[in-house]
Amino acid sequence: MAEARVSRWYFGGLASCGAACCTHPLDLLKVHLQTQQEVRLRMTGMALQVLRSDGVLALYSGLSASLCRQMSYSLTRFAIYESVRDRVSQGSQGPLPFHKKVLLGAVSGLTGGFVGTPADLVNVRMQNDVKLPPGQRRNYAHALDGLYRVAREEGLKKLFSGATMASSRGALVTVGQLSCYDQAKQLVLGTGYLSDGVVTHFVASFVAGGCATFLCQPLDVLKTRLMNAGGEYRGVLHCALETAKLGPLAFYKGLFPAGIRLVPHTVLTFVFLEQLRKHFGVRVLS
């Protein structure tokens, strides 16, 4: 029997943190574009505005919250998905069917989205702070300060504002990323043209990033609006109706920067994950 390596439960969180450090400026611009009440600036214009008004470091506003989010949201969904997948696959002596991967991805993402909601809320607020007038900025020192102040000033319940939307988005993006990555990698290796190397990981993760962007963009827009709201929305449905007044394309506001951010983030996450698995993973017989 051949020896293989599988991920440790926390590798997904570490890989996602590495990817987040590289793609954080794109994530920040996506939040700025999605929280515009009217479409006034595109991605390049928004980037120039941030640079002119607050400098280069403003592109990394909220990085600590982004890392905190990855170590809650991504760590949870990767840990559940990979642990269950590997255990079930060993028992069945073969890869899971795609429909079971989708179901497992949805459950993993739903759980991860809920667990990561507090950090996600602080992440959105810290990224959006630089566009607010100085007197209206929250000025959280870091992610933990943001979590503490939200709990103290607005109540613990506020930390889970938008949890339904975040969990739903988590389910969709996890299906797009983890389930589609596994299936795409399986199909690529099945052709026999590529081995289990960086090129295969890149192709499979690029496909997964595109699937995730397409699936989750409408929910991502609503989630961002809810988390950044000052009380003007009564719930998810009201937020959706108000967004719809701006036209159907409002649900895909920031689609291009979302894709620019999510696809590279997905590619980097899986490249980092595969390298962690290769060099530090648990040895098993396959």
**pLDDT higher than 70, residue 36:** no
**pLDDT higher than 60, residue 1:** no
pLDDT in tens, 218-242: 877 887 777 677 777 877 788 888 8
Q: State the pLDDT at residue 186.
A: 94
Q: Pick the more confident residue, 18 or 240.
A: 18
SS3 content of the chain, % helix, strand, coil (to 5): 80, 5, 20
Q: State the pLDDT at residue 46.
A: 75
pLDDT band at 184 (very low <50, low <70, confident <90, very high): very high
pLDDT band at 263 (very low <50, low <70, confident <90, very high): very high
Task: Tell me how far apart the alpha carbons of residues 111 and 74 are, in angstroms, rounded to a whole number.
Answer: 10
Q: State the pLDDT at residue 3.
A: 66
**pLDDT higher than 90, residue 212:** yes
What is the average per-residue pLDDT within 70-92?
90
Q: State the pLDDT at residue 145.
A: 92
pLDDT band at 247 (very low <50, low <70, confident <90, very high): confident
Q: Are 226 and 169 in contact (CB under 8 A)?
A: no
**pLDDT higher than 70, residue 118:** yes
260 Cβ partners below 8 Å, 6+ apart? 26, 43
Report the helix count and the strand count for the chain, using DSSP H and E.
Answer: 12, 2
Q: State the pLDDT at residue 204.
A: 97
Q: Pick the more confident residue, 268 or 259.
A: 268
Q: State the pLDDT at residue 283.
A: 81
Record the tokens describing residue 152, joined without a space: 């103290």
Of 29, 49, 44, 246, the C-alpha closest to 128 is 29
86 Cβ partners below 8 Å, 6+ apart? 6, 7
How far is C-alpha 95 from the chain's CA centre?
25
Q: Pick the more confident residue, 83 or 130.
A: 83
What is the average per-residue pLDDT within 203-223?
88
What is the average per-residue pLDDT within 188-205?
94
Domains defined along the chain, listed by start: 3-285 (1.50.40.10)
Distance set, CA 12 to CA 9, 28, 78, 95, 96 (Å): 7, 22, 5, 20, 19
Q: What percent of the chain has pLDDT over 90?
A: 45
Please state whether beta strands 282-285 and 3-6 pair in parallel, antiparallel, or not at all (unpaired).
Answer: antiparallel
pLDDT band at 262 (very low <50, low <70, confident <90, very high): confident
Helix orientation angle between 198-227 and 180-191, rounded to the nearest 10 degrees? 160
Record the tokens describing residue 70, joined without a space: 């990855």
Mean pLDDT computed over every residue of the chain:
86
Q: State the pLDDT at residue 211.
A: 93
